[in-house]
Amino acid sequence: MLARFEIDVAERPRPHDGVPLQSILDQLPAGTLLVRPDGITAEFVSASARRVLGGDGTVSALTDTALSMRTLEGLDIAPADRPVARALTGEVIEFFECELARPDGQLRILRVNATPMRDASGALAGALIAFVEITSERLAIEQSRRDADFRDIFLAMLGHDLRNPLAAILTSARLAIRRGALPAGEQKTIARIVSSGERMERMIDQILDMTRARQSGGIPLRCEPKDVAGCVTKAVEAALAERPDARVALELAEGNFVALIDSDRIEQVVAKLVGNAIVHGTAGLPVRVAVRADGASVTVSIHNHGAAITPERQRTLFDPFTRGHSPKEARSSGLGLGLYIAEHIVRAHGGAIALDSSNADGVTFSFTLAQLAEAPSA
């Protein structure tokens, strides 16, 4: 809020209970001054006003109509439309934002209040001006806008410009394999193009998701009433297709598992957690994936018999670009974004991923979704 106060303009600065008025004004964080009816002469110019407007108290940045004053959209403000001139015609101005040039050429952005002052007879005695400088605030907003523009360009580049040529590479390579009749050596070469292209595709997806997760809108969802158990089953099947040697026990309790979800995204979360559980579990012991409902929520849990996750590692487990130091994690070809994205997806559904880890009981990741009563859509 800007400082608002009354002043007896008929009187000169005088000691008030032993404290000069100017000393009081000089303590205010807002700039204040009283401009006389000539529109040029100023009095009661506070220290803050002198600092922001420059000069030695002549405050020409506000009163000198030869100096530039613009709206925040960059339009020139005519002398008659400036706060001092308008207040001297009797108008009350509030929260007038403008960019003005100081005599030394520096630019300042102000939020200005201007009020006409009258003497005891009602005659106009001047304009009381109070303002705060908002240069830093506006520059921060402008920087934030530029950052948002940059993010949009970055997302468009990743999502479209980069993925289109990759799609051409992958589809062409897959078509070459499909046509068959390739010598064994070329078959292997093209298969490598496909696997590397798919890896690049996963990385693009992850960077795209991470960028969206960090934006205020978050990862976009297309939610519909869906059977969570169906999603989990598909994700487990996909994980087993990747790792046919793995053992995964799927436990689906009796009941209704319908929730308002983006099924593709929930599959992505489960696939990530099951994939991790396969990698970090104990060979020979199955990963256990369970879905249960209690009438209010549907809980999905993924358990493996691997070693406990240390408290230090747990603290950064969901941070972006983090990987553990175990040999298994060090060999990972990913970006270290999977759990970060998974947590954001679950959070966007109104839930959170919980972790339960001990050497005795193994490691369990679980998340809960609000259960719906309706039947799933087809």
Which chain residues interact with other proteins by CB under 8 A? 156, 159-160, 163-168, 170-172, 174-175, 178-179, 197, 201, 220-222, 264
- Residue 158: closest CA among 94, 122, 202: 202
For the CB of residue 203, give the shortest distance to other proteins in the complex, in Å.
Answer: 14
d(CA 297, CA 151): 36
- Residue 84: closest CA among 102, 105, 65, 58: 65
For the CB of residue 217, give the shortest distance to other proteins in the complex, in Å.
Answer: 10
On the CB side of 278, CA atoms within 13 Å amount to 19
Over the Cα atoms of the chain, what is R_g?
33
- Torsion 209-214-220-225 (CA) sign: positive
For residue 339, with 0-12 CB atoms within 10 Å meaning exposed, 13-18 middle and 19 or more buried, which class applies?
Answer: buried
For the CB of residue 152, give the shortest distance to other proteins in the complex, in Å.
Answer: 12
CB closer to other proteins, 237 vs 361:
237
For the CB of residue 168, give the shortest distance to other proteins in the complex, in Å.
Answer: 4
Cβ contact 69:75 at 8 Å: no
CB closer to other proteins, 210 vs 307:
210
CB closer to other proteins, 2 vs 162:
162
CB closer to other proteins, 78 vs 175:
175
What is the DSSP pairing of strand 42-43 with strand 31-35? antiparallel
CB closer to other proteins, 41 vs 164:
164
For the CB of residue 338, give the shortest distance to other proteins in the complex, in Å.
Answer: 18
Characterize 340-367 residue by residue with b for buried, 16 or more Cβ atoms within 10 angstroms of its Cβ, and e for exposed.
bbbbbbbbbbebebeeebeeeebbbbbb
For the CB of residue 369, give the shortest distance to other proteins in the complex, in Å.
Answer: 19
CB closer to other proteins, 76 vs 264:
264
For the CB of residue 187, give the shortest distance to other proteins in the complex, in Å.
Answer: 16
Question: Quick one: DSSP state of residue 371?
Answer: B
CB closer to other proteins, 208 vs 274:
208
- Residue 368: closest CA among 347, 344, 337, 339: 347
Cβ contact 114:96 at 8 Å: yes
d(CA 200, CA 62): 58
CB closer to other proteins, 163 vs 247:
163
For the CB of residue 178, give the shortest distance to other proteins in the complex, in Å.
Answer: 5
d(CA 189, CA 218): 39
CB closer to other proteins, 179 vs 331:
179
- Torsion 257-262-266-271 (CA) sign: positive
What is the DSSP pairing of strand 287-293 with strand 248-252? parallel
For the CB of residue 251, give the shortest distance to other proteins in the complex, in Å.
Answer: 31
Strand partners of residue 130: 32, 113
For the CB of residue 222, give the shortest distance to other proteins in the complex, in Å.
Answer: 6
What is the DSSP pairing of strand 297-304 with strand 362-370? antiparallel
CB closer to other proteins, 169 vs 308:
169
